[in-house]
Amino acid sequence: MAYVLYGDQGSGAFCVEAALAEAGAPLEFHPISLEAGEQTSESFLALNPSGKIPALALPEGGIVTETAALLILIAERHPEANLLPAPGTPERAQALRWLAFMASEIYPIVEIADYPERFVADHKGVAVLKQSARKRIRERLLIVEAAVAGPWFLGETFSALDIYAAMFSRWREAREGGWREEFLPKICVLAAALSERVALKPVWEKHFSYG
């Protein structure tokens, strides 16, 4: 039995697909169209009541959600892929710190930028909130940029952190107006290197062909 990944192109499902590709683990991709609102279908809510992708069905049964948790889980289940530094090391401590930072300080604000109407009722408030959320995401991305050791996030070794940071750099908030190239040079370098990795090239092209 293979993993079954519920996701959409250009979404957080990229991280899971990339981590599994690095690990050489077979995967079946089950598309959930965000554009069509399929994340709120009854059948998907039965898998993930929060109505978000990615969701991963494990080969032995059970659903796991939350991108950062999935990256850690895949690293644990496929240690040969070296997706995270060894437990107990200072590098591991930093890896956990920045995975949690991106999961808690950036990802939730993307929901506010993408769906501001969930948070305020009036039309004017929606526009203001969207702008504020985008600004906040950029502020948070600058903190991540400063934490990147280079050439990879943690230094000389590729890790799950590269996958997660590269994904955020592809999204609208970082991309628009050439902001990413000007303000996230280290993340741009690691994303370019990631996109050339043998296992990741097709995954990258599938999710981020728009750049």
Ligand X SMILES: N[C@@H](CCC(=O)N[C@@H](CS)C(=O)NCC(=O)O)C(=O)O
Residues in contact with ligand X by the rule CB under 6 A: 11-12, 34, 39, 51-54, 66-67, 103, 107, 111, 115
Distances (CA, A) of 154 to 19, 106, 184, 201: 16, 19, 16, 21
Q: In this structure, what token pair is assigned to residue 111? A: 């929901």
Q: For residue 139, what is the enclosing H or E element?
A: helix 123-147
Closer CB to ligand X, 3 or 185, in the complex: 3
Closer CB to ligand X, 27 or 189, in the complex: 27
Q: How far is the CB of 65 from ligand X (least distance, A)?
A: 6
Q: How far is the CB of 51 from ligand X (least distance, A)?
A: 5
Closer CB to ligand X, 39 or 169, in the complex: 39
Contact (Cβ atoms closer than 8 angstroms) between residue 52 and residue 7? no
Q: How far is the CB of 88 from ligand X (least distance, A)?
A: 25
Q: How far is the CB of 39 from ligand X (least distance, A)?
A: 5
Gap between the Cα atoms of 68 and 76, Å rounded: 12
Q: How far is the CB of 58 from ligand X (least distance, A)?
A: 16
Q: How far is the CB of 75 from ligand X (least distance, A)?
A: 16
Closer CB to ligand X, 51 or 151, in the complex: 51
Q: From the CB of residue 49, how many other CB atoms can be counted at a distance below 10 Å?
A: 9
Closer CB to ligand X, 12 or 116, in the complex: 12
Closer CB to ligand X, 105 or 189, in the complex: 105
What HEC string does 10-61 produce? Answer: CCCHHHHHHHHHHHCCCEEEEECCCCCCHHHCHHHHHHCCCCCCCEEECCCC
The region that residue 10 occupies, defined by phi over 0 for left and psi between -120 and 50 for alpha, beta otherwise, is left
- Helix-strand-coil split of the chain, %, nearest 5: 60, 10, 30
Residue with tokens 């079946």: 28
